[in-house]
Structure 1
Amino acid sequence: MQTETVLYIILSGIIALLVALFQYKYKTKHRRTLSIAFSFLRFLSVFAMLLLLVNPKFDQIKVFTEKPNLIVAVDNSNSIKHLSQVENVNKTLESIKNNVELTKKFDIEYFRFNEDIENSTILDFESRGTDIDKALNQISDIYKNDIAPVVLISDGNQTFGNDYAVSNTYSQPVYPIILGDTITYTDLQVKQLNVNKYAFLKNRFPVEAILLYQGNVDVTSRLTVIANGKSVFNKTINFSKENNSEIIQFTLPANKVGVRSYTARLEPIQTEKNTINNSKKFAVEAIDQKTKIALVSDMIHPDIGALKKSIESNEQRSVSILNPYEILNQINDFQLIILYQPNNKFKRLYQNLEKESVNTFTIIGTKTALGFLNNTVEVFSQESTGQTEDFQPKVNLNFSPFLVEDISFETFPPLLGPFGASKFSVPYETLLEKTVLGIDKNEPLLATLEHNSRREAVLFGENIWRWRAQSFMNEKSFSDFDNFMGKLVQYLASNKRKSRLTVEYESFYTGSSNIILKAQIFDKNYEFDARQSLDLILENIVSKEKQVLPFVLKNNNYQVDLSGLNPSKYNFTVRSKGENISKSGSFEVLEYNIEQQFLNADVTKLQQLATNTNGKAYFSNAVDALISDLLSNESYKTIQKSNKNTIPLIDWKFLLGIILLSLSAEWFLRKYNGLI
């Protein structure tokens, strides 16, 4: 408390005392006892009120102790059960929970993890994926300002995410408890199958199989590929300690349209412990035609190469780059023609396109002859001002012709296009809108339209290659941008009538992948209808079991998560409760559990993780040693902390009570003695 405040308090006491003595001592006629009582009560009241005016502040210090945290993270993936380590997990948890000294020293928190992490000790070991890196990063984020060593109970086998053994982002020391043994078993494994998802009818498609062997003696096995119970390929493979891997390349015929499942199997040897990883399933969808697309340009530009690579990322499509004269006699060979920055040389081509009613995708840029284009094309026009502008994209979530997702368009660099208004003489749909410096222009950057049984799209900007590059920087993959272009091309290459209900799904899924069906439903004006209620009627073709699942609205589409479906073939129907609209399809879930491909614990990575985080690795039979080390570690001590709060006197409610009590007592005494 400051000296000035102390002086004010002393002065308040003096003033209160003088007031009390003046009123009840100076020229008073009361009895001595009453005068003393009245003086004391008046002094108390005045002094308390003066103290409120001074309002001194007092420091309140609370001392408390804070124990360090101990995080126990348990692997809940299926590989724990596959390696017969469930009992070791339960024993380890019991040892930690029942140790009184450990409970006294630490605040213990329990987590389970697989693809995600949860604050729970309920374990079923059914998950088909493990992301150790994600679990450790989330724990580090939660306890970044605390002392919180991590006991990681795991076999170290990871199926998702970044390599946890080399990461330097963990802020806490990690003490792995290794589940599984280090004995080297003789093992054959179909490590990987490389095959395209699509093949063309009556063609042969390539398959590449990567086979691994673990052992010290020479062995012979046979690789067999089976389809519909029949062998379609087989080959004898020899392995040794030195020659412990083989890459086998072969082709298979695509004789029937549709999805066909195959099983690649390595014949097991007698001493093999794990035979589940000897086989792997794959599927190929045979199609009877390939979408052919012509990219017509009279110039060289990076956009041309980017468009070709993006469109051809789907094996069902091929792109031919031609000039405006080469294509004149080939127009009917293509389902879609992309017109890149057309000029006067495109005159005859436009005449033939109108005559043959071919679908087009026009890309307008700084080299486009706008005067020619406006005089030639009837359905749209672009104002010619001789100036250019940078336009950034903004996705229109109400776009109805096909299902579109926002692939972080706001992060994409702007396209360079002609400055000026664009006009359409027929109805159109805006897929991407123009924005300049964050301001909406209310003009389309990418639009689609349908007229006279033709489908067209117009992009009012060049340098789309930058979008593909930015998409790779965002996601470390071209797939998001390529899928976006694929949907646009698929829509433009077809002349099917627009449907009010669209469903997006794959023909087949592997058992370890996420299975999510997406749907969109539109009203009679083909605007996205978020008021509808959609159901999925799913039937297992083999077991005949049916179930009805609701779709959940998410952004501009409805979704249902079918992850965890048993391997089988399924038929489905998507129906609207509000209207008599439905759509059906089928898909197949292939049997594959990546968690059952492991034979041992990954001891090396777990020990490397412990070293990198200043922890220590233990096997499951050395839990007592771990507990002893945690208890004796001087870094993990209970810390005494204090909180200092400065409290003003005016917040002390008891003072107000004292004032009321003293004034009331004084009034009551005066009234009782007939002085009022």
Structure 2
Amino acid sequence: MTTETILYIILAGVVSIALAVFMYGYKSKQKGLLTWVFGILRFITLFSILLLIINPKFKSETYTIEKPKLPVLIDNSASVGELYQTENVSELLQKLKENGDLNDKFDVSYYTFGSDFRESDSISFNEKNTNISKALTSTNELFKNQTAPTIVITDGNPTLGNDYEFSSATFQNAIYPVILGDSIKYTDLKIEQLNTNRYTFLKNQFPVEVILTYSGVGPVNSEFVVTQGTVGVFRTNVSFSESETSKTLNFTLPSNLVGLQKYTAQILPLADEKNKINNSKQFAVEVIDQATNVLVVSKIVHPDLGALKKAITTNEQRTVSFKKPAEAVSVLNDYQLIILYQPDRSFAAVFSEMEKLKKNSWVISGLQTDWYFLNGAQDNFTKETSNQSEDIQAQLNSNYGTFAVEDIGFNNFPPLHTEFGALTIPVPNEVLLEQTVSGLTNGNPLLATLEINGKRDAILDGEGFWRWRARSFLETESFQSFDDFIGNIIQYLASNKRRTRLEVSSETFYYNNKPIRISAQYFDKNYVFDNRASLNITLKNKDTEKQTVFPMLLRNNYYEVDLNSLSAGEYNYTVSVSNEAVSSSGSFTILDFNVEQQFLNANVSKLRRIAKHTDGSAYFITQTDAMIQSLLANDNFQNIERSEQKVVPLIDWKYLLALIVLALAAEWFVRKYNGLI
């Protein structure tokens, strides 16, 4: 308490005594003991009330003992079973849970990782990928600024994510890897990686890159073969030695038939190979006879154009060309979509020709756009210009229903630059992104799509979205989410297909170690997205004739189903709407590839390195008793006494209120007892 508060309390005591003496010592009719009783009770009442008015504050300090954390990360991928380690892992977990000394010293928590990182509720060892980097990064964030030595039970073979050795470099706590498998190197030939396009065009050659690796002693010879069905389409001899353990093959294959073409790549196994599963790999290419050609017309050079090209050409079915306005007029008819970047008066002939050809377009405006020209060159939108710039951000319109779009974090993206003024769209349109300033919408569309008499157009009123692509990569470590967003816009604008009430989006083939998802949109008779519908997808395996029905779940403005539980094979599907005669059918193929079956032993050297870099120790699964003793004996992992200081105002002290009530009640009772009331 401050000196001022103490003086107020002393003054309150003096005033309370003075009032009590005045009331019961100076003019009181009672004499003897009752005078003292009433005086003391009145003093208590007055002093307590004055204390509540002064409301002094007291400091209280509490102490808690905090045990060091011990997160246990368990590899839940199928490779654990392939190395015959599932029983060993279960026994180790049981040992950790039953060790009283360990649980007394540490606050032990359990997590599993495969494709994702999650708190452990059950262990199945059936996940199709291993992302060790994500598990370490998530643990580092979860136990930030805490003492938390981390046990990682894994074979050390990642199939997804970044190099976990790099992630461990910023890890704050010691890592104790428990190595599943052994360090013995078996003789093995393996297809380490196979790269090819998902799409190619009819009568073209598509490239294939294959990386082959060898582990073993002495030189070996084998043959690499690519077959389509029973027909061999590529064949070459390969040789390896202890000094030359890898080879990269680059070749091309012809695309003579339209549709999905499936191939099998194989390196013929050696006689003494233990694992022959990793000697072959299936891959597929969809051969199409027409590409989507996109023309970008611009007279300026801007980073946005590079971001557009990268995002559009991520899908190999699309090509992008760049032309200046004067060059573009004569070739407009060769393209399905025209993107007009920051048009000015030099675009006059382009707008005129586009109007004749009824070409779909996407106008992107910015600080160098001539709005006086643009307002007169078309009738879809107008803007009141002020020749002043404005920074705006984006907010997804969750009711947008023209096509499925996912929120990729628009609210957190850097602002775009545009001219200050109201953008008006007098024709029927749907706003995909709304403008926000300081987190509040200003009523103007940022990105809107229009469809009039079968012609599709869009307007994006802002430049600088190349920063969106960069931010998306920083947040997700991939450009895919941004590229998919742009790809959806391009797919919609480049198509003249008439809109149907049920639109289904799926790939022609999937690898079974990747996400297998099909999405759909259902519209009512006014072509407004209907989020009340019940959609189901019926799947039929072409080989087994087995039929399965899955419900499709609502996600914002589209429905989606996850089909990762399906086995490899060819499937026909039908998406239908309950109580409506509306359906859509298609087919897809799931290619068999189990990346978790590609390993013969643990990555011992890498696990030992991350242990060394973080001041931990690596142990084989047979040495876990030594690991537990090391954790118990390590003096760096001690309980921490934490103090918490709170400032408590007296008005929160309930006992003082009780004392006032008790004093008043006692005075009333004494008066009543003595017949003074």
1:292 is matched by which residue type in structure 2?
A: N
- For residues 503 and 408 of structure 2, the distance between their equivalents in structure 1, rounded to whole angstroms, comes to 20
How far residue 618 of structure 1 moved from its aligned partner, in angstroms, is: 1.4
Within 5 A, what are the aligned runs for 1:308-319?
A: 308-319=309-320
Give yes or no for contact 1:391–1:435 (8 Å, CA) kept in 2.
Answer: no
2:177 is matched by which residue type in structure 1?
A: P
2:200 is matched by which residue type in structure 1?
A: A
Q: Give the corresponding residue for 1:243.
A: 244
Q: Give the corresponding residue for 1:549.
A: 550
Q: Give the corresponding residue for 1:651.
A: 654
- For residues 514 and 477 of structure 2, the distance between their equivalents in structure 1, rounded to whole angstroms, comes to 19
- For residues 368 and 51 of structure 1, the distance between their equivalents in structure 2, rounded to whole angstroms, comes to 76
2:205 is matched by which residue type in structure 1?
A: R
Q: Give the corresponding residue for 2:569.
A: 568
- For residues 537 and 51 of structure 1, the distance between their equivalents in structure 2, rounded to whole angstroms, comes to 80
Task: Check 1:636–1:508 CA distance in 2 against 1; reply closer, same or farther (3 A cut).
Answer: same
Task: Check 1:63–1:385 CA distance in 2 against 1; reply closer, same or farther (3 A cut).
Answer: closer
Q: Give the corresponding residue for 1:559.
A: 560
- For residues 412 and 8 of structure 1, the distance between their equivalents in structure 2, rounded to whole angstroms, comes to 59
**Which runs of 5 or more structure 1 residues have no equivalent in the other structure?**
29-34
Q: Give the corresponding residue for 2:98.
A: 98
- Do structure 1's residue 122 and structure 2's residue 109 form an aligned pair? no
- For residues 482 and 78 of structure 2, the distance between their equivalents in structure 1, rounded to whole angstroms, comes to 34
Q: Give the corresponding residue for 2:75.
A: 75
Q: Give the corresponding residue for 1:621.
A: 622
**Which runs of 5 or more structure 2 residues have no equivalent in the other structure?**
none
Q: Give the corresponding residue for 2:157.
A: 157
Give yes or no for contact 1:383–1:419 (8 Å, CA) kept in 2.
Answer: no
Q: Deviations over 1:282-306 (max 9, x none)?
A: 1111112122333345555555555
1:144 is matched by which residue type in structure 2?
A: K
Q: Give the corresponding residue for 1:540.
A: 541
- For residues 631 and 499 of structure 1, the distance between their equivalents in structure 2, rounded to whole angstroms, comes to 66
Q: Deviations over 1:322-364 (max 9, x none)?
A: 4555555544433333444556665555554444433333445
Task: Check 1:80–1:470 CA distance in 2 against 1; reply closer, same or farther (3 A cut).
Answer: closer
How far residue 309 of structure 1 moved from its aligned partner, in angstroms, is: 4.1
Give yes or no for contact 2:521–2:529 (8 Å, CA) kept in 1.
Answer: yes
Larger radius of gyration: 1
2:590 is matched by which residue type in structure 1?
A: V
- For residues 409 and 598 of structure 2, the distance between their equivalents in structure 1, rounded to whole angstroms, comes to 36
SS at match of 1:574: strand
Moved more, 573-582 or 467-476: 467-476
How far residue 523 of structure 1 moved from its aligned partner, in angstroms, is: 2.5
Give yes or no for contact 1:41–1:665 (8 Å, CA) kept in 2.
Answer: no
- For residues 159 and 415 of structure 1, the distance between their equivalents in structure 2, rounded to whole angstroms, comes to 37
Q: Deviations over 1:112-142 (max 9, x none)?
A: 3323334336322111122223323333434
How far residue 519 of structure 1 moved from its aligned partner, in angstroms, is: 1.9
Q: Give the corresponding residue for 2:215.
A: 214
Q: Give the corresponding residue for 2:387.
A: 387
- For residues 360 and 438 of structure 2, the distance between their equivalents in structure 1, rounded to whole angstroms, comes to 33
- For residues 433 and 51 of structure 1, the distance between their equivalents in structure 2, rounded to whole angstroms, comes to 62
- For residues 463 and 61 of structure 1, the distance between their equivalents in structure 2, rounded to whole angstroms, comes to 53
Task: Check 1:146–1:78 CA distance in 2 against 1; reply closer, same or farther (3 A cut).
Answer: same
- Do structure 1's residue 294 and structure 2's residue 295 form an aligned pair? yes
> What TM-score do you get using the length of structure 1 for normalisation?
0.84
Within 5 A, what are the aligned runs for 1:151-300?
A: 151-167=151-167, 168-297=169-298
Within 5 A, what are the aligned runs for 1:414-425?
A: none
- For residues 47 and 301 of structure 1, the distance between their equivalents in structure 2, rounded to whole angstroms, comes to 82
Task: Check 1:391–1:450 CA distance in 2 against 1; reply closer, same or farther (3 A cut).
Answer: farther
1:169 is matched by which residue type in structure 2?
A: T
Q: Deviations over 1:449-483 (max 9, x none)?
A: 33344333344455555554555555444433333
Give yes or no for contact 1:266–1:278 (8 Å, CA) kept in 2.
Answer: yes
- For residues 630 and 438 of structure 2, the distance between their equivalents in structure 1, rounded to whole angstroms, comes to 59
Within 5 A, what are the aligned runs for 1:307-346?
A: 307-324=308-325, 326=327, 330-341=331-342
Q: Give the corresponding residue for 1:427.
A: 428
Q: Give the corresponding residue for 1:403.
A: 404
1:102 is matched by which residue type in structure 2?
A: L
- For residues 596 and 274 of structure 1, the distance between their equivalents in structure 2, rounded to whole angstroms, comes to 8
Q: Give the corresponding residue for 1:599.
A: 600
Give RMSD over aligned pairs. Answer: 4.0
- For residues 659 and 440 of structure 1, the distance between their equivalents in structure 2, rounded to whole angstroms, comes to 60
Q: Give the corresponding residue for 1:31.
A: none
- For residues 340 and 12 of structure 2, the distance between their equivalents in structure 1, rounded to whole angstroms, comes to 88
Q: Deviations over 1:357-406 (max 9, x none)?
A: 333334455665656655554x4354575725446353434333322333
> What TM-score do you get using the length of structure 2 for normalisation?
0.84
2:206 is matched by which residue type in structure 1?
A: F
- For residues 89 and 445 of structure 2, the distance between their equivalents in structure 1, rounded to whole angstroms, comes to 59
- For residues 71 and 474 of structure 1, the distance between their equivalents in structure 2, rounded to whole angstroms, comes to 25
- For residues 18 and 410 of structure 1, the distance between their equivalents in structure 2, rounded to whole angstroms, comes to 69
